[in-house]
């Protein structure tokens, strides 16, 4: 199921981000608990399996997929490209995989390519991908960026505490340390459950990896 229409439904963001702040009232997102609860049921519907495509440059995309089985419900995040093997950035199943992005990478992909199809609004892209983030050194301005996105999606003024909470990382892995590997030209995460202990794209042909690096605006910090 294409989940794109759900983004405009009441309660979506409170439901999508509930695992990052499960003790925060849905009213912090500007919605009531009934709408958030109803949306959570729709996202976890075993017959729906909604998916969201976040298009990137060079034909790449991040696909967010709700996977509801008989025994568990997971939200999975895949880096995809036609003709390539999908890479798992994060998964909330019992094996816990993440974090999959650091803040410089997430900030670099907020703007969608021209004429892209899928989730193109920068605020929606940020909030949709926040569960993949886990960066202990996210800069101070990250809070302002998240606040702006929350307000654009209906949260009330004064949502800075919520933004800070969302930047703490998913409870399955939390905020982790990242370092830029100049030889591999990739950010590396030392988190126990992170798939980014190896360079992102190291399985790709060199030309496709170069496109991915450009897409994520890979650069040495303070370069």
What is the per-residue pLDDT across 176-218, written as a single tens digit (0 to 9) for each? 999 999 888 899 999 999 999 999 988 888 989 999 998 887 7
The answer to whether 104 and 72 are in contact (CB under 8 A) is no
Residue 109 C-beta-side C-alpha neighbours within 13 Å: 30
In a domain, 221, yes or no: no
In a domain, 147, yes or no: yes
In a domain, 223, yes or no: no
Least confident of 26-30, 80-84, 121-125: 80-84
Angle, vertex CA 5, rays to CA 66 and CA 108, nearest 5: 70
CA pair distance 115, 102, nearest whole angstrom: 26
In a domain, 222, yes or no: no
Tell which wins on pLDDT, 169 or 85.
Answer: 169
In a domain, 220, yes or no: no
Exposure pattern of 172-194 as b/e (b: 16+ CB <10 Å)?
Answer: bbebbebebeeebbbbbbebebb
In a domain, 154, yes or no: yes
Q: What is the pLDDT of residues 19-50, one digit of tens each?
A: 999 899 999 999 999 999 999 999 999 888 99
Which residue, among 79, 76, 81, has the nearest Cα to 64 in the 3D structure? 76
Pairing of strands 73-80, 61-68: antiparallel
In a domain, 123, yes or no: yes
**Total tally of structural domains belonging to the chain:** 1
Mean pLDDT of the chain: 93
Q: How confident is the model at residue 222 (pLDDT cuts 50, 70, 90)?
A: low
For 98, the domain range is: 4-215
CA 116 to centroid of chain Cα atoms = 18
Q: In the prediction, which pLDDT does 197 show?
A: 96
Query: Does residue 131 surpass a pLDDT of 50?
Result: yes
Angle, vertex CA 170, rays to CA 2 and CA 34, nearest 5: 60
Dihedral pair phi/psi, residue 196, rounded to 5°:
-95, 20
Region 142-156: what's the mean pLDDT? 97
Tell which wins on pLDDT, 84 or 110.
Answer: 110
Q: What is the pTM of this model?
A: 0.94
Query: Does residue 121 surpass a pLDDT of 70?
Result: yes
pLDDT above 70 as % of the chain: 96
Region 63-72: what's the mean pLDDT? 84
């Amino acid at each position: 199921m294409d989940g794109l229409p759900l983004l405009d439904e009441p309660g979506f963001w409170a439901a999508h981000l509930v695992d990052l702040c499960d003790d925060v009232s849905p009213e912090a997102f500007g919605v009531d608990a009934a709408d958030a609860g109803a949306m959570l049921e729709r996202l976890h519907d075993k017959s729906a399996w909604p998916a969201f495509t976040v298009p990137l440059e060079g034909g790449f995309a991040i696909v967010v997929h709700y996977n509801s089985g008989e025994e568990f419900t997971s939200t999975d995040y895949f880096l995809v490209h036609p003709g390539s093997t999908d890479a798992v950035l994060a998964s909330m199943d019992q094996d816990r995989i993440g974090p999959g992005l650091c803040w410089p990478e997430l900030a670099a992909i907020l703007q969608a390519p021209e004429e892209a199809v899928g989730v193109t609004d920068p605020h929606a892209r940020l909030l949709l991908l926040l569960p993949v983030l886990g960066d202990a050194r996210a800069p101070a301005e990250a809070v302002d960026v998240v606040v702006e996105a929350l307000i654009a999606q209906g949260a009330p003024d004064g949502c800075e505490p919520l933004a800070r909470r969302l930047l703490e990382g998913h409870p399955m892995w939390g905020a982790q340390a990242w370092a830029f590997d100049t030889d591999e030209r990739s950010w590396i995460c030392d988190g126990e459950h992170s798939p980014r202990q190896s360079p992102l794209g190291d399985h790709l042909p060199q030309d496709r990896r170069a496109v991915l690096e450009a897409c994520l605006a890979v650069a040495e910090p303070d370069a």
